[in-house]
Copies of this chain bind each other. A is one copy, B any other.
Amino acid sequence: MNKEVTIYDIAEQLNISASTVSRALNDHPAINEKTKKKINQTASELGYRSNLFAKNLRAKSTMTLGVMVPKLDSYFLATVLAGMEKEANQSGYNLLIAQSLDSPKKEIANAKTMFNSRVDGLLVSTLLSIEEIGHFEPFLRKGIPILFFDRVLDVKKIPKIVIDNFQAGYDATAHLIEQGCKKIFHFTGDLGWNVYRDRYHGYLKALADANVSYNEDMLFVTNLSLEASSEVSQQIAELDDKPDGFFVTNDTCAASLMVSLKKEGIRVPGDIAIIGFNDDPITRIVEPRLSTVHYPGEEMGELAARSLISHLKGDSNVQLTNTIVLSHELIPRGSTTRFKEV
């Protein structure tokens, strides 16, 4: 392995003093532009990497934001990241992204990697519970701001950006009730996560408000895989007393469930009306088109990055904010339209 290039190597190469090199690399006004250009060019040629550490101060930023997410396999997260990149680009920041693949251990390792990469701030959709978030403390102690989005926790000094998942779950369920559904099942993920838990509570409240009955057999908690959708579909096909409505916590599972049910000879929305969540492109590809709740992913990403950057620039103190709630929107489509006049 090569030795790390230092300012002394650059100085030697150009036959100037190391302090001139140091000041040039830090854009000091005492050094003229021509010299700066020459020094920067040589630094680049030699493969010099700015040594923030040696200064013993976080005076200079790395212009890097860390983003920690559960899994990079959803359209929703792709839109959030696109929104973040858009804002970051405008302010000259780059994003470093890490996924925890639904492993708490990996989320903790990723936090360490982000910390050692000296990110200026951190945007996190977390897997962990409030008791397990010691991995964020080193950031807070150093004054590196953190912001939670989507999957969030209530932690002091860590603001969060969310949608009102309770209300969104309520709205989706109330829509099915309006369409005449009287036996509405719910297909969701791990209820330990705020997003699924809140939607589930919204679903329960909507049923209760309309005096629609509920029991635990109507709830399917799965890992939200395509295989899970097939299994749920098979269980429904075998039921004597079938549901007439289904609120599914994401569009991929909803679309897959719809296709599986149709193969079993069940009509959608005639026999069972189905509503999904997120407003992914797949909702417009399946037949009938899938009703859903629009989740403003790109806006969430933009706002999250903008808030953090504004804090880093000293324009505002993001840590004074507790929660920002974005608007969701019910999108009724063919998969729930049981009456001509809605």
Contact = CB atoms under 8 A, between A and B. Distances in A.
A56 interface: yes
Contact of A50 (B44, B110, B116, B142): B116
Given A4-B56, A117-B117, A259-B287, A72 B64 contact: no
A73 B82 contact: yes
B98 A98 contact: no
A270 interface: no
Q: Number of contact residues on A: which range applies?
A: 35 or more
Nearest to A116: B49
Nearest to A59: B1
Contact of A99 (B3, B64, B85, B112): B85
A100 to B, nearest CB: 9
Number of copies: 2
A1 B60 CA distance: 10
Contacts of A284: 226
A30 interface: no
A51 interface: yes
B4 A53 contact: yes
Contact of A117 (B79, B96, B281, B282): B96
A78 B71 CA distance: 8
A316 B63 CA distance: 35
A193 interface: no
Contacts of A97: 72, 96-99
Contact of A286 (B1, B58, B141, B286): B286
A285 interface: yes
Contact of A143 (B2, B101, B138, B255): B2
A220 interface: no
Contacts of A101: 82, 85
A287 B59 CA distance: 58
A44 B2 contact: no
Interface string A18-55: 00000000000000000000000000100101110111
A81 interface: yes
A109 interface: yes
A94 interface: yes
Contacts of A99: 81, 85, 95, 97
A47 B143 CA distance: 11
A299 B89 CA distance: 32
Contact of A285 (B3, B4, B94, B259): B259
22 contacts: A1-B143, A2-B143, A3-B57, A4-B53, A4-B56, A44-B138, A47-B138, A49-B115, A53-B53, A62-B116, A63-B113, A73-B75, A94-B106, A94-B112, A94-B113, A95-B99, A96-B113, A256-B285, A259-B285, A282-B285, A286-B286, A287-B287
Given A94-B112, A95-B99, A285-B285, 5 more contacts: A49-B118, A94-B98, A96-B97, A226-B284, A256-B281
Interface of A: 1-4, 6, 44, 47, 49-51, 53-59, 62-64, 71-73, 75, 77-79, 81-82, 85, 89, 94-99, 101, 106, 109-110, 112-113, 115-118, 138, 141-143, 226, 252, 255-256, 259, 262, 281-282, 284-287
